Amino acid sequence: MLFGVTTPLAKLLLSSSPPLLVAGLLYAGSGLGLSLWVVIQDRGRFSPGLARGEWPWLASAVAAGGVAAPALLMYGLAQLNAATASLLLNLEVVLTAVLAWVAFREATSRRIVIGFVAILIGSLVLSWHGMMSGFAQLKAVLAIVGASLLWALDNNLTRRISAGDARVIAAVKGIAAGTTNTTLAFSLGASLPTVGHAVEVLGLGFFGYGVSLVLFVYALRHLGTARTGAYFATAPFVGGALAIAVFGQNGDWTFWTAALCMAVGVWLHLTERHAHEHEHESMTHSHAHTHDVHHRHVHAPDWDGIEPHTHAHEHLPLRHSHPHYPDIHHQHAH
């Protein structure tokens, strides 16, 4: 919802600055706002809580989704109309799921795939207008397809480190993307915005890109990549609903068709019940947790008893059966 409402609100800000600069400031607001949040909340400590072997995953995710993808997107947007670009960006949802299921071996089911397709159809319907007019510009199309692929890769790579501090992970990605986009904007001749305009865009970026990304990483941790990506694809519908409610725009057949498709898809996902006997292998990692069935470990005598808490802990081999998602503790084969 936060990301969805950002689009129509950001559109109001484009009258004063070029799109690339607005994108850079939105990302910068995300990175700077989250960094300040972490420093204040954690009293100066700023660490994603990653093990040494997890830093390459974060670096790769930042390079793919925070640096390369925005540059490709802006190259494509400069030559395509917005409707065509929106349609092509829906490929991110598809590619995210395909990479999760094929390359990263995330568990799925027929019900989840059908729900995913329904959500995707709804997203495609919303951005259908004007589709064919831009496909003659092959280089621009390929640039946006490349950006979608890189963001899909980013989502799957971030999934590997989603047990870390979601605030810091999102802050690092926001700073990287903000620096990249603003540098590109100024190199292409953009001028400095007024202080008031910059504050508006930075504030919107903090909530719409920053807080939403923290929640996205948290969802990756507990739901898996494909399901999180599918739910995130409902953002255009949220933006459309805001445009109708606040800006007085009319909801045509595309809006209500998309609403129905997305409602069916989300319902199929939310009513999923995936349960079977499975085995947990031995694993050591660190993340915020309570002492549920998966966290029956011993603490030092001076533990204050507060939950949830974060520390490195070991999972012993365990075999049991219960309903579960492909979260950070359920990466088993099917």
Which tens digit of pLDDT belongs to each residue from 210-254? 999 999 999 999 888 988 888 888 877 787 777 777 767 666 777
Which domain covers residue 200, as residue numbers? 2-108+131-223
Q: How far apart are the first and last CA of the chain?
A: 33
13-42 confidence digits (pLDDT tens): 777 788 888 889 999 999 999 999 999 999
**What integer best gives the mean pLDDT of the chain?**
83
**Which residue ranges in the chain fall short of pLDDT 50?**
130, 132
Amino acid 200: pLDDT: 92
Amino acid 324: pLDDT: 66
Within-domain flag for 26: yes
Within-domain flag for 120: no
Cα–Cα distance measured from residue 117 to residue 262, given in angstroms and rounded to the nearest whole number: 9
Within-domain flag for 250: no
Within-domain flag for 247: no
Which of 26, 22, 78 is CA-nearest to residue 213? 26
What token pair was written down for 177?
A: 């993307």
User: Which value, to the nearest 10 degrees, does the dihedral of the CA atoms of residues 122, 82, 232, 266 take?
Assistant: -10
Within-domain flag for 17: yes
Within-domain flag for 268: no
Within-domain flag for 164: yes
The answer, as to whether pTM is greater than 0.95, is no
Task: Determine contact, residues 312/285, Cβ cutoff 8 Å.
Answer: yes
Q: How many domains does the chain have?
A: 1
Cα–Cα distance measured from residue 263 to residue 165, given in angstroms and rounded to the nearest whole number: 31
Within-domain flag for 24: yes
